[in-house]
Structure 1
């Protein structure tokens, strides 16, 4: 049997999940009687609105048995799928439809249709509304989630969120000390003209001058006053478990983003262990590469989705790992697998401002002059530096298509759990 068919059988054996849907297909003459057209369209659109996925027609989702599709009906089934992708989903969904043979429990080969659904650039509406995939089921998207998805995928070509104005702000809420960091000899002399050119302020729909999201985050002393979720929650735990009783240190890190980056790195450096060996020469071994920690924090701050109300960056330090949770899915059409190879930014203006902020923290080993690197070197540094120190590759995981989790593994003590500890 072909390797791809074997891989699909293994997935089917585990059952449905966020990226796999199984459907029975029954016929009445040349007409498909089961599954229902609208239901299949809803499931396909939900996958496209969430993550890429696969639907297999001819498999019972409850029992996971390979029932197959009559060989002479395969073309009818393929036309049916192509029709609902074009006519029942708006905008039309571009899927790859494959005909495969899979072996049933008795070793008999049965024909099935395998529909590969890409992660779409658009938000798709199906017969019963707008859906997204959560686990093995579809859920109708509430208005706030739908609005975020439209913004993320730029279907409506909305202004970037980091350039939008923030209500109830004005020029007096921004700090001259902070904005003057971005001045050059070519900058306009008049403050308002300079701030407008930098997109740190902009007129709102009523003509009033307001700070933009980037203006609040970069040149306001207290961004959390206007954007309550714009902070980093940092917690250090004793041991490997996330329990309140095991908390050793906790802090809500606020202020302009460059300050948040500095203080988050200081939090890790202050709370992590540093081991020392004495022979033949004294060598200090930190639990984490501060260069990798710095890049991880910068990426979280620069690329998180600031439009998600109530979601902050979470940074949790354990004895064996550091976890960083960043609100929002991966920008644009990137995947977990392509993070180290491709470069993309959700917040272009914010990234450009961070690229003009001088490095203000101990990022041991970094040759960086400014906080943000525009060449896409951050993720490779995280991977190489962490793996070099701990022997384990960092792990990225997307949680419910709403939060990106990065795990950096700690270096082990050369003397056991605590021997040789110097801080």
Structure 2
């Protein structure tokens, strides 16, 4: 652990990943401050957010290192460990360090530094569910808590795509869209769709799930208003309404959204060409990579975020795709190209089995494959065309932004050259 870096952080005070606590002991070494329940809330809040560091033995108001008596250091650590295992459910694993830091007069004083990882689970502490926001903990509201459970896939307690959608009946599903999933001799439509998690049995009979509405209704936006793609093309380099050349609200069942979105990109991207020795096109984007990116956005977005939509922006030099939701299942930007961990397992599975792709340009037989190589293909093929590697960014655990850079046209224009798009 870098002591100088830790001291610098202490001087600057608490933030979203640093918690400071002064320790007060009774005679005999029993800890009376901080209170065990309150500390359990702080620790769980860090684990439920991005993780962080707790320093025991530092006053959070004055930033002075008050320390912990050496003879009680082990006892305080045992007290901390008991809080993590007995007052937090499921138990929170932390890594502890005993360090000496300079006190107010420069004398060394012992502290305990506990490193709290970003947990794979959602933790309940003594006073409920909390998450670190800025330098303080915040109690999680039911809707935020539900999304957090889903993001971390805790014991399959909640999977949004398998929930029933209110105010819609089985008869509201479109027969032609349903027929895609039917296999002769496998039972009636309701039974087969139930096996695929597209409907769910209820007291009123089979009811469509979120996945069923998204895949088997002509207008899923009537029930899930966020389930659409907003596509905008600009002539310039910035999001300026005065330079907008095309815009479309892309709706309908998910497979139709994918095809309409790729047609929007194809229609609006520039494709310089040379003719003197036979026409040679120089497209801005590798359409197979763009197609894969759109499929991923539709399949992996967080449909529980009712106020967010997929946004696709075309600029003169780049394509941006904003996908609602944090990375699922503890994935990171670094691991995306090597690991496949779908948020919406039902949708991803059905895309891989029932949605053939007949366009040879895209180099695939179904909308999705099971190899988990889509992100790597997006990065490699786009970089091969433009010379710049696409960039993924996690925006405050709210959206995933993919930027694909446009390829330059022919270096030297010749008589007869033209440009389309």
Shorter-chain TM range is 0.7 to 0.9
Q: Deviations over 1:152-174 (max 9, x none)?
A: 44446436332222222223322
Equivalence for 1:322? 319
**Shift of residue 101, structure 1, vs aligned partner:** 6.1
C-alpha change, 1:260 and 1:85, in structure 2 (3 Å) is same
For these two proteins, the number of residue pairs brought into alignment is 414
1:370 partnered with 2:366: yes
Residue among 244, 255, 267 paired with 1:270: 267
SS at match of 1:133: strand
Equivalence for 2:211? 214
Q: Deviations over 1:306-332 (max 9, x none)?
A: 222222222222233322222222222
Matches within 5 A, 1:215-234: 215-234=212-231
C-alpha change, 1:33 and 1:179, in structure 2 (3 Å) is same
Q: Deviations over 1:10-60 (max 9, x none)?
A: 877887654x21415354575667655544432321121123333344567
C-alpha change, 1:351 and 1:75, in structure 2 (3 Å) is same
CA distance in 1, matches of 2:33, 2:136: 18
Residue among 252, 257, 260 paired with 2:257: 260
Equivalence for 1:175? 174
**Shift of residue 361, structure 1, vs aligned partner:** 7.7
C-alpha change, 1:254 and 1:14, in structure 2 (3 Å) is farther
Residue among 201, 204, 218 paired with 1:203: 201
CA distance in 1, matches of 2:66, 2:293: 47
**Shift of residue 286, structure 1, vs aligned partner:** 2.6
Q: Deviations over 1:246-294 (max 9, x none)?
A: 4332211101111111111122222222344689986533332222211
Contact conserved, 1:313 with 1:327, CA < 8 A, in 2?
yes
SS at match of 2:255: helix
Residue among 300, 305, 316 paired with 1:303: 300
CA distance in 2, matches of 1:66, 1:84: 25
CA distance in 1, matches of 2:89, 2:304: 25
C-alpha change, 1:413 and 1:61, in structure 2 (3 Å) is farther
Q: Deviations over 1:98-132 (max 9, x none)?
A: 33567899999876543222232332223443212
SS at match of 2:370: coil
C-alpha change, 1:278 and 1:84, in structure 2 (3 Å) is farther
C-alpha change, 1:290 and 1:109, in structure 2 (3 Å) is farther
Contact conserved, 2:285 with 2:406, CA < 8 A, in 1?
yes
Equivalence for 1:41? 40
Q: Deviations over 1:183-206 (max 9, x none)?
A: 34x5536433433343332322x2
Contact conserved, 2:20 with 2:54, CA < 8 A, in 1?
yes
CA distance in 2, matches of 1:282, 1:111: 75
CA distance in 1, matches of 2:287, 2:102: 51
Greater mean alpha carbon deviation, residues 100-109 or residues 136-145: 100-109
CA distance in 1, matches of 2:67, 2:277: 70
CA distance in 1, matches of 2:7, 2:410: 44
CA distance in 2, matches of 1:227, 1:263: 19
Structure 1 portions without partners, runs of 5+: none
**Shift of residue 68, structure 1, vs aligned partner:** 7.6
TM-score by length of 2: 0.83
Contact conserved, 1:5 with 1:101, CA < 8 A, in 2?
no
CA distance in 1, matches of 2:102, 2:387: 40
Residue among 397, 401, 405 paired with 1:401: 397
**Shift of residue 139, structure 1, vs aligned partner:** 2.1
C-alpha change, 1:284 and 1:134, in structure 2 (3 Å) is farther
Contact conserved, 2:67 with 2:109, CA < 8 A, in 1?
yes
CA distance in 1, matches of 2:351, 2:359: 16
**Shift of residue 208, structure 1, vs aligned partner:** 2.2
SS at match of 1:130: strand
Equivalence for 2:49? 50
CA distance in 1, matches of 2:111, 2:235: 51
Matches within 5 A, 1:26-37: 26-27=23-24, 30=29, 37=36
C-alpha change, 1:399 and 1:102, in structure 2 (3 Å) is farther
Contact conserved, 1:153 with 1:332, CA < 8 A, in 2?
yes
Greater mean alpha carbon deviation, residues 332-341 or residues 35-44: 35-44
Structure 2 portions without partners, runs of 5+: none
Greater mean alpha carbon deviation, residues 117-126 or residues 218-227: 117-126
